[in-house]
Amino acid sequence: MRALVLAVFLTFSGSLLAQDNPVVVVETSKGAIKIELRPDLTPVTVENFLRYVDNGLYDGLIFHRVINGFMIQGGGFNAGMNQLSTYEPIKNEADTGLSNARGTIAMARTGVVDSATSQFFINHADNSRLDYVSPSSYGYAAFGQVIEGMEVVDEIAGVQTGNQQGYQNVPLEPVSIISVKREE
C-alpha cells in the first residue's frame, strides 16, 4: 500500500511540476505548433522569449530561414524582409544540459556567445553539434520542446527556398507567424 501511495504522489507531483512550464502556441500559415518552455533550466531565455510573446512582437513575422533536415528560424523579419527592432541581447544558457534535439526550440545568435535577442529556431533534426561543449564551443540555448505540431514543423521545413534581399534559405512563399500566445 505504501508503494502505491508513493507512486500516486510522485505521479501527481510530477504533473504539478510540468504545469509550472509555460506552453505557447505558435499559430502559423501552415498550422499550429505547441511548445512547452523550460524556465527551470533556462530562466533568462524563457523570460526573454515570453517578453516578446506577451508584447505581441512575433505576430505577423515570418519563418525567414528554413533548412530542411536542420531547422526552421523565425522571430526576426516580416514578409518584406524588414528586421524587427529588439530588446537587449541576453546571456547564453546553452550550458544547461538541454540538447538541440529534433523538436526543441533554441535561440539564434551571432558569433558572439551572448548575442541572442528575438530570433529562435526549431530543430528539424537532432543537432547535437549545436550543444554546449566548453566555453570556447558554447553552442545555442535550447529552451523548450514541441509537444504538438511537429508535422507543421516538417511541412515548413519542406518548403522551397531561395535567396532574397541578400539572405539565403528564405521560403519562396512566405510562411507567416500569425501569432504566438501563451496557452490558457
Instruction: Report the pLDDT value the prediction gives residue 20, as an integer from 0 to 100.
Output: 85
pTM of the model: 0.89
Question: How many Å apart are CA 184 and CA 171, to the nearest integer?
Answer: 31
For residue 4, being part of any structural domain is answered with: no
Q: Into how many domains does the chain fold? A: 1
Instruction: Report the pLDDT value the prediction gives residue 19, as an integer from 0 to 100.
Output: 56
SS3 137: strand
Question: How many Å apart are CA 100 and CA 155, to the nearest integer?
Answer: 19
For residue 57, being part of any structural domain is answered with: yes
Those residues of the chain that have pLDDT short of 50 are 3-18
Residue among 11, 23, 4, 16 at smallest CA distance from 148? 23
For residue 3, being part of any structural domain is answered with: no
For residue 98, being part of any structural domain is answered with: yes
For residue 2, being part of any structural domain is answered with: no
Tell me how far the alpha carbon of residue 77 is from its chain's centroid. Answer: 15
CB neighbourhood size of 168 (10 A): 10
Question: How many Å apart are CA 84 and CA 78, to the nearest integer?
Answer: 7
For residue 5, being part of any structural domain is answered with: no
Residue among 152, 174, 171 at smallest CA distance from 162? 171
Q: Which domain holds residue 76?
A: 21-182
For residue 16, being part of any structural domain is answered with: no
Strand ranges (DSSP E) for 9-109? 23-28, 31-37, 61-67, 71-78, 104-107
Q: What is the CATH number of the domain that holds 44?
A: 2.40.100.10
Query: How many CA atoms lie less than 13 Å away from 58 in the CB half-sphere?
Result: 29
- Note the pLDDT tens digit of each residue in 11-49: 444 444 445 899 999 999 999 999 999 999 999 999 999
For residue 9, being part of any structural domain is answered with: no
Question: How many Å apart are CA 54 and CA 77, to the nearest integer?
Answer: 18
